[in-house]
Amino acid sequence: MKKLPRLYAIADRGTLDTAGMSVGEFARELRDAGVRLVQYRDKGGSPQQVLRGAEEISQVFADVEDAVLMMNDRTDLALLAGWGVHVGHGDLAPAAARKVVGEGKLIGVSTHNETQIAAADASVADYVAIGPVFATATKRDTEPVVGLEGVRRARAMTRKPLVAIGGITLENAQSVIDAGADSVAVISGLVRAGERPGKVAKDFVDRLR
């Protein structure tokens, strides 16, 4: 597969609601900052609400030819949106997700330990996500922190593109890339008090070139 962008932006509905920002507004800021890989995550919304948010993002990125849009968890909704999907271990397995979304759509899978990394590497997933790298407040049921050493171990175990997630900020992102990640997934790190998300995203894009 083609190389992943360094910044993997996650539009998390809960985080955006807390910040008082709409999904569409956030998506526009990401687009204008040069972000080309976006995941939409709405853990509490109904299918209709999730699809409405996805449609807002689709409309914003409609004219961006190289944009890749990903749905978190929900393979069925990814199919309806025409997007790729990122699955965790409580979701469909990558092989089952592939049957749903079809060929040509990106599939990613979350991992938290070496057993899961090995399974992901052997699966049809297009990329492997490892984390949480650092402590994070975005997920309440988070797995143990793997640290930069966990990123290095994951890098040694797979030749697939490696996405690191969890507590990644503008200040520590380069260290994660240096540890072997191809891309850093950022959620709350894009929503900083007193700063526009587009400015923060542009700083990430520029710093991680």
Q: Is 41 a catalytic residue?
A: yes
Distances (CA, A) of 88 to 29, 76, 94, 181: 27, 14, 9, 19
Secondary-structure breakdown of the chain: helix, strand, coil percentages, each rounded to the nearest 5: 40, 20, 40
Q: Is 43 a catalytic residue?
A: no
Catalytic residue among 58, 139, 153, 192: 139
C-alpha 126, offset from chain centre: 13
| Alpha-helix residue ranges (DSSP H) falling in 20-169 | 23-32, 47-60, 75-81, 94-101, 114-122, 147-157
Q: Is 139 a catalytic residue?
A: yes
- CA dihedral angle for residue 190, residue 192, residue 198, residue 201, rounded to 10 degrees: -40
Catalytic residue among 6, 41, 155, 202: 41
Go through the chain and tell me how many residues it has: 209
Catalytic residue among 110, 123, 183, 188: 110
C-alpha 14, offset from chain centre: 15
Catalytic site positions: 41, 110, 139
